[in-house]
Amino acid sequence: MFTGHSASYPLFAQQSYPTPRESTGRIVCANCHLNIQSIELKTPKMVVPDELFEIVVSIPYDLRIKQLTAGGAKALLNVGAVLILPEGFQLAPNDRILNDSNQKSKELLMIQPYSKSKTNILLTGPVSILKHYALVFPVLAPSPNQNKALHFLTYPIYVGANCGRGQIYPNGKKSNNNTLISTLSGQILFIDKLLENGKTRITIQKINETKVPKTIPFTLTLNIKANDFIQKDEEVTFNPSTGGFGQNETDIVLQSPTRIRKIILLFFITIFTQIFLVVKKKQFEKVQAVENTF
């Protein structure tokens, strides 16, 4: 239900990078998704060993906006995320999730480990933002009693999430989700709408009097008009990208239940001691008052 193969863009990172987080701290999804997107990360501040908890990645976005697909059509926006957990943390097993009463975890369609050796790194997507405005990762905390390499400490959690398609494929080739740039300088003479596939042809008068026709895909919208002068490397279409990529990080404490019980016990002892001292003080003041009357 929650694990398995997903033929999706997050697989590009799996195929091209042994780990999704570079030494600089940047998550590799930023190499293909060039636009910036804000994201929110919600995690518990503290967990205990073998505890099932949720990490929620929220992607604020206008649901009315659609994205440009590889075929050039407009479609609902897709989202995806990569979650980098501390060593030992992993995706919660299906039986633990199904026995849990929280229904939000059961709505997530597909989560998979980054690789067989990196089960603490989780991937999901692309999924429709219409149904998954927030991506919920059910996570199982490890037990240092079973793994001596783990300790009761504070650990970092990293996440990267993207909206829509990227601008560059892992092989370096640009996708159709990019602004079209002029390769020459000159004046726009004609803008003709072609019948073939809805493409547009613009004719540019170069400085040396040569007329050069350029064909614009139907998926892009021109931001120029006839008789305009353009320069080389100037944008001639609007940016078709409606998404982007963002990353965030936080800390989580793997806490010992014994420490929690000791702290609670200390609190009770402190409160009881304070109450006992107040009572004794009242008794002493009452005795003093009685003695003074005699």
Indicate if 154 and 195 belong to the same structural domain. Answer: no
Indicate if 223 and 169 belong to the same structural domain. Answer: no
Indicate if 117 and 198 belong to the same structural domain. Answer: no
- pLDDT exceeds 80 at position 286: no
Indicate if 90 and 44 belong to the same structural domain. Answer: yes
Indicate if 31 and 104 belong to the same structural domain. Answer: yes
Indicate if 251 and 272 belong to the same structural domain. Answer: no
Indicate if 134 and 220 belong to the same structural domain. Answer: no
Domain interval for residue 208: 186-230
User: Mean pLDDT over residues 219-237, rounded?
Assistant: 82
Tens of pLDDT, residues 137-161: 999 999 998 888 889 999 999 999 9
Q: Is residue 180 part of a domain?
A: no
Q: Is residue 179 part of a domain?
A: no
Q: Is residue 1 part of a domain?
A: no
What pLDDT sits at residue 3?
36
Indicate if 225 and 90 belong to the same structural domain. Answer: no
Tokens representing residue 293 in the block: 């009357």
What pLDDT sits at residue 246?
93
Q: Is residue 89 part of a domain?
A: yes
What amino acid is encoded at 129 in this protein?
I
Q: Bigger pLDDT: 120 or 226?
A: 120
Q: Is residue 73 part of a domain?
A: yes
| 237: confidence class by pLDDT, cuts 50, 70, 90 | confident
Q: If we measure between CA atoms, which residue out of 234, 192, 231, 186 comes closest to residue 210?
A: 186
Q: Give backbone dihedrals phi and psi of 214, rounded to 5 degrees, phi first.
A: -130, 135
Spell out the residues 6+ positions from residue 236 whose beta carbon is closer than 8 angstroms to its own.
180, 181, 182, 202, 216, 222, 223, 224, 230
Q: Are 144 and 51 in contact (CB under 8 A)?
A: no
| 125: confidence class by pLDDT, cuts 50, 70, 90 | confident
Tens of pLDDT, residues 60-105: 877 778 888 887 788 888 888 999 999 999 999 888 776 665 544 4
Q: Bigger pLDDT: 108 or 168?
A: 168
Q: If we measure between CA atoms, which residue out of 154, 237, 141, 150 comes closest to residue 188?
A: 237
Q: Is residue 83 part of a domain?
A: yes
What pLDDT sits at residue 291?
60
Q: If we measure between CA atoms, which residue out of 47, 41, 152, 40 comes closest to residue 90?
A: 47
Q: Is residue 80 part of a domain?
A: yes
User: Mean pLDDT over residues 41-53, rounded?
Assistant: 94
Distance from chain centroid for Cα 82? 6
The DSSP line for 134-154 is: EEEEEEE---TTT-TT--S-E
Instruction: Count up the domains in the chain and report the number.
Output: 3
